[in-house]
Structure 1
Amino acid sequence: VGACSSCCEQCGKVFAWETSLSSHRWIHVGENRFKCQECGKRFRLRGNLIFHQKTHTKAKTFLCSICGKRFSSRTNLITHQLVHIGERPYPCSQCDKSFWVKSHLRSHQESMHNGECSVKA
């Protein structure tokens, strides 16, 4: 078998784009080359730094078309929109409560059910 031109030499992972392979290679070096000028935190990928910088600028570019509330990430907007449609995709296996966000379910289970997560009878 010939050498793969878009494969990582360290782990064998295959990439469609050479730029993706170049970015991936940094995980093996362990170097975080992108530094936030605001707080000094470092990131391996430029995109992660850009996403992080929104925490400093408070940029909220994602708009809820239903209520007009703004969010700094698409994920937070999507989670928020569950409120409008009434969906609570994370049910507690110990009681009849369900939650919009998985971390809220975990907090509920820790505080109400001593962290236990077993199947409801």
Structure 2
Amino acid sequence: KCLECGKSFSQSSCLICHQIIHTGEWPYRCREGVKSFSDHSNLLSHQHLHSRKWPYQHGDCHKNFSQSSHLICHQNIHTGKWPLECPDCGKSF
């Protein structure tokens, strides 16, 4: 449990990552840029920008992505699942 805000976590590693929010600490720094990150996985995702490694490619339009989740979101555009339209106001998001 976080002593600062009271939020509980099932794993101690999640608590440690969470506590960075309160300390303002960003220990994972990009060597090629000026950005820093609170957790290692976000740094790794960012580093794809510098490495130009975009291993996930859409088969139809050949657009490349650094993360599989970004490709999945992109595929929803082609299938018509995105953008979603609100039935009440008509806005799409």
Partner residue, 1:56: 50
Unpaired runs of 5+ in structure 1?
1-6, 103-121
Unpaired runs of 5+ in structure 2?
none
The 5 A counterparts of 1:1-121 are 7-64=1-58, 66-67=59-60, 69=62, 70-91=64-85, 93=89, 102=93
Q: Deviations over 1:36-81 (max 9, x none)?
A: 00113111111111111111112112233x4373311223212221
Given residue 4 of structure 2, which amino acid in structure 1 is its aligned partner?
Answer: Q
> Which structure has the higher relative contact order (CA within 8 Å, separation 6+)?
2
TM-score scaled by structure 1? 0.62
Runs of 4+ in structure 1 over 3 Å off: 90-95
- Secondary structure of the 2:21 match is helix
The structure with the largest alpha-carbon Rg is 1
Q: Is the 8 A contact 2:48 2:66 kept in 1?
A: yes
Q: Is the 8 A contact 2:77 2:83 kept in 1?
A: no
Number of equivalent positions: 90
TM-score scaled by structure 2? 0.77
Partner Cα separation in structure 2 for residue 68 and residue 88 of structure 1: 16
Give 1:94 shift.
6.8
Partner Cα separation in structure 2 for residue 42 and residue 83 of structure 1: 31
Q: RMSD of the TM alignment (CA)?
A: 2.3
